[in-house]
């Protein structure tokens, strides 16, 4: 492989040099940090902030951290947050508006680009970011707010050598190995990392690190670890392109069945690294002369999402779950060229009642009689 | 800041220069963009819409019912929600924000030389008004024009003089229906779909433009189908919740379609299998 010529070996004890190098370049470093019993994306001041010797156990509606005792820093696969919030902010002002006395002056509040390095981005989340770029930057109306946030981002991926039961990146063709969308990519092995650059910016940083040539045994160990991880992922989403299947089954009884279980809480959409629905509203100040136009993450599971005047286009939970699943897996392909699902499994883990989209799709694929129960 | 990148995100101030009320709940506003260069840039075709901003309150998506060659922009608005309730109180001289135009327009060029059947209900006539005016002004370029328009109450009939003016044109038929007419109502009493029995269409050369409640659209689709008009010549303007109008907020989806940027006007053949499925 041509990339192997540029792969380098970084001892684990030299990882602080990477953080130093990033900070010297003016980057704020964010990475995987444990907080409130889960992995979140937060400030990494030193390597000791990373979850050494921890791993996650995930199942439908189940998330637990446990100690593994090892020295590995990146064995916790993921948590409820993803880098999406760095580019498509959960809440951000769009316009500062002044009005009154026949005047109206609206000014965009486009943020200043900030240099942020994100450490430990998984392959599924890099695919999700590429999808966000497609939606916010490469469509008819590029979004200047997203563009500003995106421009300062440096992405340091970590290939997964461990998976959890909710993962299905192999079905979506997004992981477990980091192969695209990264500035730098790490694979964590017992004593250190295989490091590869994906961009000139990443190459520049890599060159300054105290690295060595990669021992052929390390390459072999890396290959084995990645293959083992991929083999260990048992959850499947099939077919990867279910447009024909879902468009032909808009009235399938399974939608009623899942509506009995779904709480319409919207957790799945809040943890999803590709969901982009949002609300836009004015927050007027008390002086009656100023207003802030704000956009905030919203969910197709909220009743208000399909509301217009006295009419709701998606009044039932059945309608809203169907909208989410058909959009995510099928109509998304028509809109943006590939699936809206990257197989990260978050929506399965963080669903309070453990609804599993791969199971729902399988039930619909199973035929019209499969709507009897979970 | 890149002006082009933010232009469609920023409401332009527009002054109300005329307000006409049709009954207690419908007003038609003529708006003049403050900035003359903004008006020059503002190029629209009938069927497109604006996000109309009430300062400090919010935005609503409203179709433009004026003609592209007029200086002022017309929006006809029904008072039905929080934002429009504030619009209700606005008078000449007050300032609104406009951003747009968004969406596509009616396929007025490809339909030249054809017969055009327009079916509208309620304020659904507003997005088609500009299209009918366009055709009437180029009378020789279009075949027979038939306008079927239905309202719930006679007072919901806005801009009656437009229908009268179209009626006076050669080979233009205008049939109106009201569910709950008042004494002066001289047209059909009932729903707009009952007017189907009173018209003749040549399926070989008829194009259909529709806008109104979804139940009316479904009846219209069935009628066109029964008459043998191919689905590729039936166009519908649809309505959904919209916040951003640029294909990002996700609310206006119908299957793979974003009404704001792919529509709001669709060829009927593009809507399968979603249109008409309850709760989609």
ipTM of this complex: 0.92
A331 vs B154, more confident: A331
Same domain? For A255 and A136 the reply is no
Instruction: Compare CB distances from B56 to A102, A288, A305 and report the shortest one's residue.
Output: A288
Region A48-64: mean pLDDT is 97
Q: What is the rounded distance in angstroms from the CA atom of residue B69 to the CA atom of residue A89?
A: 41
User: If you average pLDDT over every residue of chain A, what do you get?
Assistant: 95
Q: Which residue has the higher pLDDT, B122 or B53?
A: B53
State which of A202, A232, A262 marks the end of a domain.
A232
pLDDT value, residue B150: 94
Task: Say whether residue A369 is in contact with chain B using an 8 A CB cutoff.
Answer: no
How far is the C-alpha of B151 from the C-alpha of B132, rounded, in Å?
18
Q: For residue B59, what are the CA distances in angstroms to A88, A332, B96?
A: 22, 27, 10
Helix, strand, or coil (residue A304): helix
In this structure, the answer to whether residues A123 and A42 fall within a common structural domain is: yes
| Residues of A with Cβ-Cβ distance to B258 under 8 angstroms | 335
Final residue before a domain boundary, out of A232, A265, A285: A232
Q: Pick the closest to residue A166 from A343, A6, A365, A369 (CA basis).
A: A343
Structure tokens at A358: 């791969």
Nearest to A72 by CA among A56, A57, A58, A51: A51
Q: What are phi and psi of A50, to 5 degrees?
A: -80, 150
B23: confidence class by pLDDT, cuts 50, 70, 90 = confident
Residue A214 and residue A323 share a domain? no
Closest to B191 measured CA to CA, from B215, B227, B224:
B215
Q: Please answer yes or no on whether A280 and B9 come within 8 Å at the CB atom.
A: no
Over residues A76-96, the mean pLDDT reads 97
CATH 3.90.25.10 fits B3-102, yes or no: no
- Give the pLDDT confidence score for residue B185 in this predicted structure: 86
Q: How many Å from the N-terminal Cα to the C-terminal Cα in chain A?
A: 46
pLDDT of residue A368: 63
* Token pair of B267 as six digits: 């060829």
**Judgement on whether residues A216 and A254 belong to the same structural domain of the protein:** no
Domain of residue A365: give its range.
Answer: 243-372
Instruction: State both tokens at A176.
Output: 């477990």
Whether A238 is covered by a domain: the verdict is: no
pLDDT at A374 over 50: no
Mutate to test the interface with A, among B2, B3, B9 (most CBs of A within 10 A): B9
> Is residue B10 a contact partner of residue A108, using CB atoms and an 8 Å limit?
yes
By Cβ distance, the residue of B1, B240, B250 closest to A308 is B240
Instruction: Please count the other Cβ atoms lying within 10 Å of the Cβ belonging to residue B267.
Output: 13
In a domain, A164, yes or no: yes
Task: Please tell me if residue A296 touches chain B, with a CB cutoff of 8 Å.
Answer: no
In this predicted structure, the answer to whether residue B94 has a pLDDT above a threshold of 60 is: yes
Contact A319 B2 (CB under 8 A): no
In chain A, the percentage of residues whose pLDDT exceeds 70 is 97
Q: Among A201, A232, A263, which residue terminates a domain? A: A232
3-class secondary-structure state, position A289: coil
Give the class (CATH, top level) of B115-237: alpha beta
Please say if the pLDDT value at position A372 is more than 50.
no
Q: What is the mean pLDDT of residues B145-174?
A: 92
Q: For residues B265 and B237, is the Cβ–Cβ distance under 8 A? A: yes
Asked whether residue A219 falls in the same domain as residue A80, the answer is: yes
Q: What percent of chain A has pLDDT over 90?
A: 92
**Quick one: pLDDT band at residue B40, thresholds 50, 70, 90?**
confident
Residue B181 in this model has a pLDDT that exceeds 80? no
Domain(s) of CATH 2.40.30.10: residues in chain B: 3-102
pLDDT of residue B24: 86
Helix (H) or strand (E) holding B226: helix B214-227
- 0.80 cut: is pTM over it? yes
**Under an 8 A CB cutoff, do A334 and B251 touch?**
no
Q: Among positive and negative, which fits the CA dihedral A188, A189, A195, A198?
A: negative
**Which of the pair, A332 or B40, is modelled with greater confidence?**
A332
Task: Report d(CA A138, CA B247) in Å as an integer.
Answer: 12
Q: What is the mean pLDDT of residues A344-373?
A: 86
Return the higher-pLDDT residue of A329 and B124. Answer: A329
How high does pLDDT run on average in chain B?
A: 92
Number of domains in chain A: 2
**Judged by CB atoms within 8 Å, which residues 209-238 of A form the interface with B?**
none
A85 with A65, same domain: the answer is yes
* Cβ count near B117 (within 10 Å): 26
């Amino acid at each position: 492989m041509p990339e192997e010529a540029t792969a380098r070996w970084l001892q684990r004890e030299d990882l602080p040099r990477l953080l130093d190098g990033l900070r010297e370049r003016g980057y704020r470093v964010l990475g995987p940090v444990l907080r409130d019993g889960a992995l979140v994306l937060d400030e990494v001041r030193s390597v000791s902030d990373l979850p050494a010797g921890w791993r996650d156990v995930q199942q439908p509606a189940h998330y637990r951290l446990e100690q593994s005792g090892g020295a590995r820093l990146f064995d916790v696969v993921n948590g409820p947050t993803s880098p999406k919030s760095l580019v498509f902010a959960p809440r951000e002002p769009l316009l500062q508006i002044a009005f009154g006395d026949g005047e109206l002056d609206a000014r965009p509040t486009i943020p200043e680009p900030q240099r942020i390095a994100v450490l430990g981005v998984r392959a599924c989340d890099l695919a999700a970011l590429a999808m966000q770029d497609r939606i916010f930057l490469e469509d008819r109306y590029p979004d200047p707010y997203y563009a500003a946030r995106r421009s300062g981002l440096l992405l340091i991926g970590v290939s997964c050598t461990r998976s959890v039961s909710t993962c299905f990146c192999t079905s979506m063709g997004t992981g477990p190995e980091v192969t695209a969308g990264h500035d730098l990519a790490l694979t964590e092995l017992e004593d250190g990392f295989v490091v590869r650059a994906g961009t000139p910016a990443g190459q520049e940083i890599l060159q300054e690190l105290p690295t060595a040539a990669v021992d052929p045994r390390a390459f072999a160990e890396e290959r084995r670890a990645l293959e083992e991880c991929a083999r260990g992922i048992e959850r499947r989403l099939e077919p990867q392109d279910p447009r024909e299947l879902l468009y032909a089954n808009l009235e399938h009884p399974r939608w009623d069945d899942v509506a009995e279980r779904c709480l319409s809480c919207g957790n799945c959409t809040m943890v999803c690294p590709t969901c982009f629905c949002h609300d836009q509203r004015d927050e007027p100040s008390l002086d009656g002369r100023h207003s802030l136009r704000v956009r905030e993450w919203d969910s197709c599971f909220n009743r208000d999402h399909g509301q217009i005047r006295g009419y709701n286009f998606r009044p039932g939970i059945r309608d809203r779950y169907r909208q989410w699943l058909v959009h995510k897996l099928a109509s998304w392909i028509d809109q943006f060229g590939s699936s809206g699902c990257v197989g990260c499994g978050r929506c399965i883990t963080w669903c309070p009642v453990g609804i599993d989209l791969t199971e729902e799709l399988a039930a619909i694929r199973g035929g019209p009689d499969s709507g009897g129960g979970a | 800041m890149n002006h082009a990148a933010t232009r469609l995100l920023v409401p332009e101030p527009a002054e109300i220069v005329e307000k006409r009320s049709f009954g207690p709940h419908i007003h038609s506003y003529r708006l003049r963009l403050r900035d003359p260069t903004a008006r020059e840039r503002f190029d629209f075709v009938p069927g497109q819409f604006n996000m109309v901003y009430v300062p400090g309150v919010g935005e609503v998506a409203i179709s433009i019912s004026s003609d592209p060659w007029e200086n002022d922009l017309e929006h006809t608005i029904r008072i039905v929600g929080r934002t429009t309730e504030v619009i209700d109180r606005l008078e000449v001289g007050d300032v609104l924000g406009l951003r747009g135009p968004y969406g596509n327009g009616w396929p007025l060029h490809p339909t030249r030389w054809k017969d055009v059947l327009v079916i509208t209900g309620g304020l659904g006539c507003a997005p088609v008004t500009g299209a009918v005016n366009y055709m009437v002004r180029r009378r020789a370029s279009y075949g027979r024009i038939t306008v079927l328009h239905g309202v719930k109450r006679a007072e919901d009939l806005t801009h009656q003089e437009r229908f009268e003016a179209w009626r006076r044109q050669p080979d233009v038929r205008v049939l109106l229906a009201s569910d709950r007419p008042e004494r002066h109502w001289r047209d059909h009493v009932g729903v707009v779909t009952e007017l189907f029995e009173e018209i003749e269409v040549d399926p070989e050369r008829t194009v259909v433009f529709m806008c109104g409640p979804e139940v009316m659209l479904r009846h219209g689709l069935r009628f066109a189908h029964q008459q043998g008009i191919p689905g590729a010549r039936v166009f519908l303007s649809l309505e959904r919740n919209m916040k951003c109008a640029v294909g990002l907020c996700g609310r206006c989806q119908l299957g793979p379609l974003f009404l704001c940027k792919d529509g709001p006007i669709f060829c009927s053949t593009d809507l399968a299998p979603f249109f008409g499925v309850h709760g989609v």
